[in-house]
């Protein structure tokens, strides 16, 4: 067991119990789950849909927490990083992507060279066809 190194990582007993149930693949207490998600899907007893649904916000919340954690780590090693930087602000216009809409999760400069960081939150039961599209675009524009 790891002792939380700062306040933001602490969990109360009920949150810790829920985290353990999710980690061990145990059904969630019925009091914590509605029968139907706001997207109309019936919720499974393990809460998998809630962790994958694009409408519930949990996936974005976890993504944003991870981006912030990486940003803090980069700053701690003296690499000031910005998050959610529009590609157009970096004068980058990849083929097939609207640079005024597309953002880099993280951007930092090290020894005069710009670096990008991308955070993708996945779940073992998630069927997400956008991963193939992301991979194709990233490989087409990567160096």
* Residues near Zn ion, by CB under 5 A: 37, 39, 41, 53, 55
Q: In terms of CB distance, is 20 or 39 closer to Zn ion?
A: 39
Q: In terms of CB distance, is 18 or 53 closer to Zn ion?
A: 53
Q: In terms of CB distance, is 53 or 137 closer to Zn ion?
A: 53
DSSP the chain: -PPPSSGGG---HHHHHHHHHHHHTPPPPGGG--SB-TTSPBPPTT-HHHHH-TTTSHHHHHHHHHHHHHHHHHHHTT--EEEEEEGGGGT---TTS-TTT-EEEEEEEETTEEEEE------TT---THHHHHHHHHHHH--
Q: In terms of CB distance, is 47 or 94 closer to Zn ion?
A: 47
- Smallest distance, Å, CB 63 to Zn ion? 16
- Smallest distance, Å, CB 43 to Zn ion? 8
- Smallest distance, Å, CB 14 to Zn ion? 23
- Smallest distance, Å, CB 126 to Zn ion? 12
């Amino acid at each position: 067991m790891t002792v939380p190194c700062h306040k933001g990582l602490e969990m109360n007993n009920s949150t810790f119990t829920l985290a353990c149930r999710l980690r061990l693949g145990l059904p969630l207490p019925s009091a914590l789950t509605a029968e139907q998600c706001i997207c109309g899907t019936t919720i499974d007893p393990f809460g998998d849909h809630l962790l994958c649904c694009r409408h519930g916000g949990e996936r974005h919340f976890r993504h944003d927490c991870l981006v912030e954690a990486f940003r803090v780590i980069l700053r701690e090693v003296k690499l000031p990083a910005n998050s959610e930087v529009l590609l157009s602000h970096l004068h980058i216009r990849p083929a097939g992507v609207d640079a005024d809409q597309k953002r880099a999760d993280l951007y930092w400069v090290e020894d005069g060279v710009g670096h990008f960081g991308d955070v993708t939150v996945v779940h073992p039961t998630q069927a997400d066809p956008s991963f193939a599209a992301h991979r194709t675009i990233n490989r087409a524009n990567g160096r």
